[in-house]
Amino acid sequence: MSNEGDAPKPRAQRLGVREIAKRVGVAPMTVSRVLSNPDMVSPETRARVLKAIDQAGFVPNRLASSMRGSGRMIGTVVPPLINSGIAEQVQGMSDECHESGYSMLLVQGEFTTEAEEHSIRTLIGWRPAGLILQSFVQSDAARSLLQNGATPVVEISEIKGHKPIDMVVGVSNFETAYAMTMHLAAKGYKRVGFVSTPIHGNDRLQQRRIGYHAALKDLGIKDRAGMEVEVPLTAQGGAEALNRLTDRHKDIDAIFFSSDTLAVGAIQECHRRGWKIPDRIGIAGYGDIDLAAQLFPPLTTVRVDRYEMGRRSVRVLLSRLSGNQKIPTITSLGFEIVDRDSA
């Protein structure tokens, strides 16, 4: 029933290091070395192996390599990509990964405890060399998953008051919002509203809100009810926020939006109403998206280099992977208040 003795074991000639080795007349190990440590192989042998690989159209199996410890994959969980400026970060991460020969496993997660934990489990299942998280790790289950494992973790997160799991890259959202609120005050605005997208579970937004309040307090401005709203992350959300806020308080003179997308929507709404910006109302955003400078009127906003944040997070991770333990646990990128015409 089984073919042991005579049949030449007709196993389909699967294309692998073994097969290539056979064709060239060397040991599989030699082929493997050509792939990962070319210098350990003599130039001639190497050339012959390379040629065979090319002719066969052989693409080494990365899964197998990874199982032996040298995985070149990094996993990341990010918030929804649309309208959020996250796309820039992902681009930065992707570029940096690519240049270093890493692949990127991407999971999108919402800001809920269960979703977060599930995403992290999924990623860990693939035994990535490292993890980059943009969700605020809340659940204890998730934290312990991460801390037990030997997988390095970079959180792209709020810098302030955060107990890092491992490494953190980010900006102080508190500072940025504080700075923008102060900036608006310095420009003469007295009654500044604040608009955010859903804050729950997002430490960055939370800190922006706190920064806004801290600035008001330091300015000696009393909190008034109804100066804040929460809307979906869409241009329409921005318009809606403008409407709600200005309905409640006719005297509101500026609004600080926690996202440029929102601010852009609000500005369109002002055009629709025939309101002059910044005369009738000042509008400030957050993120400095591509459109911000081009907008009419140009948008005053907080510039955070999202692309660089993405790149940096990967770099920090890879640096740790290459055995460098001298890496600071926290990397804070700068920010800039970009003063344009909208406020």
Interface residues with DNA (CB under 7 A)?
Answer: 1, 11, 14, 16-18, 25-30, 32-33, 35-36, 39-42, 44-46, 60-61, 64-65, 67-70
CA quadruple 335, 341, 342, 343: dihedral, nearest 10:
70
Query: What is the rounded CA–CA span in Å between residue 204 and residue 258?
Result: 10
DSSP-derived 3-state class of residue 157: coil
Question: x/- string (CB under 8 A) for its own copies, residues 121-140?
Answer: xxxxxxx-------------
CB 105 within 8 A of CB 128: yes
The least distance separating its own copies from the CB of residue 182, rounded to whole angstroms, comes to 28
Q: Which of 91, 100, 138, 243 binds its own copies (CB under 8 A)?
A: 91
Q: Which does 186 bind (CB under 5 to 8 A by kind): DNA, its own copies, none?
A: none
Q: What letter represents residue 38's amino acid?
A: P
The least distance separating DNA from the CB of residue 77, rounded to whole angstroms, comes to 21
Which class for 72: exposed (0-12), middle (13-18), buried (19 or more C-beta within 10 A)?
A: middle
For position 236 contacting its own copies by CB under 8 A, the verdict is yes
Q: DSSP for 62-81, please give it.
A: HHHHHHTT---EEEEEE---
Measured from the CB atom, the residue of 211 and 310 that comes closer to its own copies is 310
Q: Which does 69 bind (CB under 5 to 8 A by kind): DNA, its own copies, none?
A: DNA
Q: Which does 47 bind (CB under 5 to 8 A by kind): its own copies, DNA, none?
A: none
Query: What is the rounded CA–CA span in Å between residue 159 and residue 173?
Result: 8
Binding segment (CB under 8 A) for its own copies, from list 117-125, 178-186, 193-201, 332-340? 117-125
Q: Which residues contact 255 (CB under 8 A, 6 or more apart)?
A: 192, 193, 194, 195, 241, 242, 245, 263, 266, 281, 282, 283, 284
Q: Which does 163 bind (CB under 5 to 8 A by kind): its own copies, DNA, none?
A: none
Question: x/- string (CB under 8 A) for its own copies, residues 31-60?
Answer: --------------------------x-xx
Q: Which of 108, 112, 139, 243 binds its own copies (CB under 8 A)?
A: 108
For position 71 contacting its own copies by CB under 8 A, the verdict is yes
Query: What is the rounded CA–CA span in Å between residue 323 and residue 320?
Result: 5
Query: What is the rounded CA–CA span in Å between residue 147 and residue 165?
Result: 7
Query: What is the rounded CA–CA span in Å between residue 268 and residue 236?
Result: 9
Measured from the CB atom, the residue of 177 and 233 that comes closer to its own copies is 233
On the CB side of 265, CA atoms within 13 Å amount to 23
Q: What letter represents residue 123's amino acid?
A: L
For position 325 contacting its own copies by CB under 8 A, the verdict is no
Measured from the CB atom, the residue of 35 and 106 that comes closer to DNA is 35
The footprint of its own copies (CB under 8 A) covers 57, 59-64, 66-67, 71, 73, 80-83, 87-88, 90-91, 94-95, 98, 103-108, 121-127, 144-145, 148, 234-236, 238-239, 261, 264-265, 268-269, 271-272, 290-291, 293-296
